[in-house]
Amino acid sequence: MISTRITELLGIEKPIVQGGMMYVGVAELASAVSNAGGLGILTALTQPTPEDLRREIRRTRELTDRPFGVNLTILPTITPVPYGDYVDVILDEGVRIVETAGSNPEPYLPRFKEHDVVVMHKCTAVRHALKAERVGVDAVSIDGFECAGHPGEDDVPGLVLIPAAADKLTIPFIASGGFADGRGLAAALALGADGVNMGTRFVATAESPVHPLVKQAIVDGTELDTILAFRPLRNTARVRRNAVSVEAVDILARGGEFADVQHLVAGSRGKTVFTTGDIEAGQWTVGMSQALVHDVPTCAELLERIVTDAEDIFRRRLAGLVLVAQ
C-alpha cells in the first residue's frame, strides 16, 4: 500500500488517477478505475448535453460506491459550450471531486468551494500550477511534454517539470504525461509528486470503451508514433502519427490556417477512430507512453501491478543499491 497526500485528499487507496479523456472517460472506465482503488474521472464534454452528464454520473454511481471525479476541460471550441450548465449538474449531483483543465479555473472556484468540491487543476507549467494554488485549488496535476493531448508550448519534459514543481508547490500534486507502469509511479514519487495521472495507459484497458483495434494500435505503438498537431496555432496537441495528422501538420507548417485543416482534424473523425477501430480515419489523441503499453489488462489488474511493482522497486531494487558503511 502506498499512502500519500493525494490518497488522503481524494479518499482513494492507490495514488493513481485516470485523467479526463474525450470519448473515453465514461462510466464503465471511471467506475472500474475507482473500484480498483484509484480515482476514475468522467469527461463532462464527452456527454453532448449537461443532462447527458447527469445520466452518466448516475450510471457511474450504480457501478461504484468509491470516490470518482468529473473532468471539465475549458478550451476554445468552434461551437460554444454551456460550461455553467455542466457545472450546475456536477453540483446538483453531489460530485465531490472535479478535475479542471484547459484554462484558469478561477471563475468556477467560488461555486465549487461553496459545495466543498475538491478541485484538482491540470496544467503544463510550474507558473500555472502556482497560479492555480494561489487562486485556491486543492491539488494540481502537472502534464509534461510527453503527455497525450495538450502539453502547452514550453516543451518541458516531466523529468525536469515534476521536481521543479515539487520545489515550489505547497499543495499536493500528481505527475502526468508518460506514466504507464510501476517504474513511472516510483519515479514520480521520487521526484516529489504525490501520485500519477495517466491517460494513454487507461485507453488500452479491458473496460475502456474504445474499439479493440485502437487498443492493439497502442500496444503496437512506439515512443516515435506521435506528432505535435496545431503547433503554429499555439494550441499544441500530441496525437497519433498517421496519414491524417501528418497531412494537417504539413498544411499548417506551409502557412495554412485552422480552416484549411478543419476537415482533417474534426473531433467527429477522432471519435470514428475510437468506435470503428479504423486508426487512419482521423486524428486521435495518444501519448509517448504508448511505448510502455504491452497488454490490455483490466483496471484492477493494472492498478495492482503498478503499485506492487513500485513497492518492489523501493523495497528491493533501490534499497539494495544503498551501501551501508562497514
Ligand X SMILES: Cc1cc2nc3c(=O)[nH]c(=O)nc-3n(C[C@H](O)[C@H](O)[C@H](O)COP(=O)(O)O)c2cc1C
Positions touching ligand X (CB under 6 A) are: 19-22, 24, 43, 71, 73, 101, 122, 143, 146-149, 176-179, 197-201, 203, 285-287, 289
Show the CA angle centred on residue 156, arms to residues 296 and 130, nearest 5°: 100
Dihedral sign for Cα 137, 139, 144, 148, please.
negative
State the nearest-atom distance from the C-beta of 282 to ligand X, in Å.
Answer: 12
CB-based contact 189:299 (threshold 8 Å): no
**222 φ/ψ sector (left φ>0, alpha ψ -120 to 50, else beta):** beta
Question: CA angle, 68 as apex, 287 and 213 as ends, to 5°?
Answer: 35
CB of 144 to ligand X, least distance (A): 8
Question: For residues 78 and 323, which CB has a smaller minimum distance to ligand X in the complex?
Answer: 78
CA pair distance 289, 221, nearest whole angstrom = 9
* CB-based closest residue to ligand X: 199
Nearest C-alpha neighbor of 46 from the set 242, 282, 285: 285
Between 18 and 317, CB nearer to ligand X: 18
Nearer to ligand X, 228 or 256 (CB): 228
**CA dihedral of residues 176, 182, 185, 188 (deg, nearest 10):** -100
Per-residue burial over 230-259, b = 16 or more CB atoms within 10 Å of its CB, e = otherwise: beeeeebbbbbbbebbeebbebbeeeeeee
- In the complex, minimum distance from the CB of residue 324 to ligand X, in angstroms, rounded to a whole number: 37
| Shortest Å, Cβ 321 to ligand X | 27
269 neighbors 243 (Cβ within 8 angstroms): no
Least distance CB 293 / ligand X (angstroms): 10
Could you say which DSSP state residue 105 is in? -
Place of cell 463532462: 44
Please write down the HEC assignment for all residues of 254-294.
CCCCHHHHHHHHCHHHHHHHHHHCCCCCCCCECCHHHHHCC
Nearer to ligand X, 109 or 147 (CB): 147
Least Cβ distance, residue 101 to ligand X (angstroms): 3
Based on CB atoms, which residue is closest to ligand X, 154 or 256?
A: 154
Kindly state the smallest distance separating residue 314's Cβ from ligand X, in Å. 22
Nearer to ligand X, 77 or 260 (CB): 77
Our CA dihedral for 231, 42, 223, 273, rounded to 10 degrees, sits at -80
- Closest distance of CB 139 from ligand X, Å: 14
24 versus 70: smaller Cβ distance to ligand X: 24
Closest to ligand X by CB, 225 or 256: 225
